[in-house]
Structure 1
């Protein structure tokens, strides 16, 4: 009870965030991560920053702002704060039409009977890993179904949040997510640990590598000549004028025949001379021209 009283006392002592202070924090977040927090979401930013300030004993926004600019300790604190300010809500098989497109239309063109090749996919903004493991399940299952095909694949999964990436690497998820995975996939790629937890099988986890990466640095991305880039529910957090630059950079990382999958409605009227829109009613994707 004493701890709760102390927390409320600290909260009450905190200064309010006026519009100028909000603009300063929003600008910092956009410059460092690309994520845009519009004035309509001021309450979200204030709540997240205040929550972390309360944990560190800070009561003034300007003092905390200076604290995260100190090096090197400020860099560590910034990583923690970014984890509070970025959204990690995700699901297995979140957008079935996109995975159907990959499995039933794109992959058969990339993999044929008797082929020997390697496929490299990138899950952008993977959060806690559900999307990356879904990609790995889909690729593994449908490649295995091609007779005599000897195809190796790997998935690189990136996010700005280290805590989220740690969840992905562990491959342990709450039972509430169990039924997000279709039964025929669960039987091949999931192990039930107990009544509260299930795990992605090690054989699949080995195909997925997790790494911290800020999409703002995509022009300098170490990933090159990718076969598949899956970038859903990421661009919505960036300013519209920045989305086009990011998409142009992503297009440059694809091999001929490679595919870029986006979230439906994330971009409008996007065109690139090296890309062709995939004709699909429910999924938004582009193929790199050969």
Structure 2
């Protein structure tokens, strides 16, 4: 018979005590800002039980000690990956990408030509498996066309999860991931591997720099501000205080007039002192 917080694995039943859950929850919150509520206790057990079996651990206290003792950060990265939802696909929330190409890019081009600059800085924060970052790189190529080589355009894509970054860097995706993309884009920027998989062409891969980065870092290492920041469907994991601090930090990392995109299920309100509401889930630095 299963405990209400347990999972039966062959001859083992994994349960988590209130103390163990609190320790792991507090660790996750302090390191990456994700707020695990009490109702996520069973989910935590379900998602971590395979790790406990693999590591031949008998309880979650042993696992907690393992995570905090791992100086490489890989154990924490694996933990965060397992408790997060990394479902995404190309052209998700497509109005954002239409706005990026048809409104933001023409506006940015004019501004940069006036001041004689050519470097376009775009950041995908919480990039997951890379679909968003690659699509933004593709849209910049589409916008500039033959003039693209005259611009220093690229995308910085960051995530705390090593596993999703490895998937992103491979550039390999299932056919289902492309189902919303216009055919002319999928035909031009993807190469078929087999009947189930495609890969992003090398030219686009070279436009995106993937790096591991923790959004809870209060001293971002970036030397220059960004023209655009995408952080979509990431802040749903954060509590009110953490989300507000992060939004304030993003605002300081945007150039004046730079754009900030969040997920449609997220909100930061229309009265932020540094961010002007433009349309649902799109803001501009004042």
> TM-score normalised to the size of structure 1?
0.87
Taking a change above 3 Å as real, the CA distance of residues 112 and 50 of structure 1, as seen in their structure-2 partners, is same
Deviations 1:135-192 (A, max 9, x none): 11122211228x7993221100000111110111110112222323221211221111
Partner of 1:189: 189
Partner of 2:281: 284
User: How far apart are residue 219 of structure 1 and its match?
Assistant: 3.7
Partner of 2:232: 232
Paired residues of 2:23 and 2:64 also in contact (CA < 8 A): no
User: How far apart are residue 114 of structure 1 and its match?
Assistant: 10
Partner of 2:5: none
Partner of 1:151: 151
The reply on whether 1:55 has 2:54 as its aligned counterpart is yes
Taking a change above 3 Å as real, the CA distance of residues 123 and 27 of structure 1, as seen in their structure-2 partners, is same
List gaps (5 residues or longer) in structure 2. Answer: 1-7
The reply on whether 1:8 has 2:10 as its aligned counterpart is yes
Partner of 1:68: 67
The reply on whether 1:101 has 2:99 as its aligned counterpart is yes
Deviations 1:47-98 (A, max 9, x none): 122221111111111122222222447x443333232222211111111111
List gaps (5 residues or longer) in structure 1. Answer: 1-5
Taking a change above 3 Å as real, the CA distance of residues 150 and 112 of structure 1, as seen in their structure-2 partners, is farther
Taking a change above 3 Å as real, the CA distance of residues 223 and 53 of structure 1, as seen in their structure-2 partners, is farther
Partner of 1:259: 259
The reply on whether 1:206 has 2:206 as its aligned counterpart is yes
Taking a change above 3 Å as real, the CA distance of residues 110 and 56 of structure 1, as seen in their structure-2 partners, is same
User: How far apart are residue 223 of structure 1 and its match?
Assistant: 5.3
Partner of 2:23: 24
Paired residues of 1:275 and 1:286 also in contact (CA < 8 A): yes
Query: What are the residue-to-residue correspondences of 1:120-199 with 2, within 5 Å?
Result: 120-144=121-145, 150-199=150-199
Q: Distance in 1 between matches of 2:235 and 2:223?
A: 19
Paired residues of 1:136 and 1:204 also in contact (CA < 8 A): yes
Paired residues of 1:34 and 1:238 also in contact (CA < 8 A): yes
